[in-house]
Amino acid sequence: MKKFIFISLLAISVCKGAAGPDASWNQAVQDIPDWQQQQNLDLTHKQIGAIPANFNFPNLRGLQLSNNNIGAIPDNFNPPNLLELFLSYNNIGAIPDNFNPLQLLVLQLSYNNIGAIPDNFNPLQLLDLQLSNNNIGVIPDNFNPLQLLVLQLSNNNIGAIPDNFNPLQLLELQLSYNRVVAIPDNFNAPNLETLYLNNNQINQIDPERLLAQFPHLIYLDLSNNPLLPVDIRRLGDLAQKADRHITIVADNILPEGHGIKKAVSRR
């Protein structure tokens, strides 16, 4: 799989800071010189309870706020030039309906209490979206960020992949530990390389269709699903005949061969 390395956010230190409406925010930034002018802020593990409601700093490119006590993203939170936003390991309950930062490339919101993806949430430039370990029950029908490369939705309550889900640029999709029962016939991800569907409720696959849907697939995890061994064997045979080098993880229900490589789930 292609690796995309995003710019690491710089830890910033020293001197005096400015104001914000939340006392915990003030305390977190008080030793950062000219913090409103910084391009990167690392405020992880600062016990911050809220993002200031009037947060709008045009110089900011990267913001790390993981491992805090933040309960919400402000409704008007749309820094115009923000590229990377890290908010994992907080107490956020929702993504605001009007949250669509125009330049955002990376958004990490794993390990929160988010219950839904807003129907109109389709950031134009987003490349990497991480929403694992939340309480999301549905992928909206019109959710198709055009540039998305990585989508992580493991450990939620998702019961279905939308029929019209067509993330044309997507390289990696993680949907393990959900309640997915089927791979839709119209699910089209022509560039997908890595697919995690382990620990779901999928009981049937169409091997021919699956290989056609994902012509660039190189890693497929179907372990811990109630699948028939014959379907997995057929999938392996077809991949082998087509000279498709796919690592297929599907429990220890088959002997060596059939185009199936013995592997341990990576998730």
Q: Which residues pair with 257 in a beta bridge?
A: 260
Instruction: Give residue-wise pLDDT tens across range 168-215.
Output: 999 999 999 999 999 999 888 999 999 999 999 999 999 999 999 999
* pLDDT at 253 (0 to 100): 55
Which tokens go with 94? 């929702």
* pLDDT at 171 (0 to 100): 98
* pLDDT, average across residues 40-56: 90
* pLDDT at 74 (0 to 100): 92
pLDDT at 7 over 50: no
SS3 136: coil
- DSSP state string for 29-43: HTTSTTGGG-SEEE-
Domain ranges of the chain: 1-158, 178-267
pLDDT-based confidence at residue 3 (cuts at 50, 70, 90): very low
Q: What is the DSSP letter of 125?
A: T
Nearest to 204 by CA among 232, 179, 223, 178: 232
* pLDDT at 210 (0 to 100): 94
* pLDDT, average across residues 248-256: 68
pLDDT-based confidence at residue 15 (cuts at 50, 70, 90): very low
Q: For domain 1-158, give the CATH superfamily.
A: Ribonuclease Inhibitor (3.80.10.10)
Residue with tokens 């491992």: 67
* pLDDT at 86 (0 to 100): 98
Alpha-carbon Rg for the chain, nearest whole angstrom, is: 21
Per-residue CA distances from 254 to 52, 223, 249 (Å):
55, 12, 11
Q: Are strands 62-64 and 40-42 parallel, antiparallel or unpaired?
A: parallel
